[in-house]
């Protein structure tokens, strides 16, 4: 697959906060992030945290009272998802901490993925899941929708690359077979 922007990985997410202090407490004590040095040249309040290979940048809202009210927990809303080891342990811990959550799940091919959804102090949704048990299966090239010209171009380029690889394999097999 092509990587036109030469991306390497997710670096951080930024979250506008009602209270940076409450958010630091949540991300540090509930989700296990740890504070890291933040550049001193910023002229606004915030905090940086890190763990699991990603950063969380907390930014103090200029007007916390104008931030959207925290609504109900809806697994179909935007969220950050963290892969977890023991869903039972997580659920027990959320209950102990009196954190309201919604249980959900998805099943595919006899594999069940369990999910827990809850809000951070700012209303951003967090998902905890055992999603790694569900295989990541690339879609066949033919199943990709062809409505976008960029997609069509990428599909054609991918097919050409696949054909070139197949030709190389056939040449190698032919040479090996002859010898």
**What is the set of domains in the chain, with CATH numbers?**
1-65 (3.10.180.10), 68-138 (3.10.180.10)
Q: Please indicate whether residue 127 is annotated as part of the active site.
A: yes
pLDDT of residue 147: 42
Q: Which of 108, 127, 162, 173 is catalytic?
A: 127
Please state, rounded to an integer, the average pLDDT across all residues of the chain. 86
Q: What is the pLDDT of residue 137?
A: 87
Overall residue count recorded for the chain in this entry = 179
Q: Is the pLDDT of residue 22 over 80?
A: yes
């Amino acid at each position: 697959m092509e990587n036109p922007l030469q991306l390497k990985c997710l670096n951080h997410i930024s979250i506008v906060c009602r209270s940076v202090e409450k958010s630091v407490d949540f991300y540090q004590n509930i989700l296990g992030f740890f504070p890291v040095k933040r550049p001193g040249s910023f002229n606004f309040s915030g905090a940086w945290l890190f763990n699991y290979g990603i950063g969380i940048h907390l930014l103090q809202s200029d007007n916390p009272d104008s931030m959207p009210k925290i609504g109900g927990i809806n697994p179909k809303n935007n969220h950050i998802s963290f892969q977890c080891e023991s869903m039972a342990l997580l659920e027990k811990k959320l209950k102990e901490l009196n954190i309201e959550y919604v249980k959900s799940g998805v099943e595919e091919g006899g594999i069940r993925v369990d999910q827990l959804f809850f809000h951070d102090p700012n209303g951003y949704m967090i998902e905890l899941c055992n999603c790694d048990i569900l295989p990541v299966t690339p879609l066949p090239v033919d199943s990709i929708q062809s409505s976008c010209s960029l997609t069509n171009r990428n599909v054609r380029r991918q097919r050409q690359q696949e054909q070139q690889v197949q030709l190389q394999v056939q040449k190698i097999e032919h040479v090996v077979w002859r010898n």
